Amino acid sequence: MQIQIELTEESRELLSATSRRARRCTRFSPALSKMISRSHCLSSECDLQQATELLEMARDHCPQGVEDIEHAIFAATAG
């Protein structure tokens, strides 16, 4: 299942900076870090595991992105 997540420019920049720092640790998957850092647009497609990790990262480092990510996960998994 692919989840389309749309973020504001501010949220994407904060999460991108966080993912660069997270690459140094094993808390988040390398795939998630690569997806965020190579995404130059405000919309990304990811799987459920990556979306869940992104939500966890946002809860810790980018509260303004939490609602957008939760909405995308709900929309993709509802029904």
Domain ranges of the chain: 2-77
Q: pLDDT tens, 11-47?
A: 888 888 877 766 665 566 666 766 666 555 567 788 8
Predicted TM-score (pTM) of the model is 0.76
21: which residues sit within 8 A by CB, 6+ positions away? none
- Alpha carbon of 26 to those of 31, 52, 70, 77: distances in Å? 11, 15, 23, 27
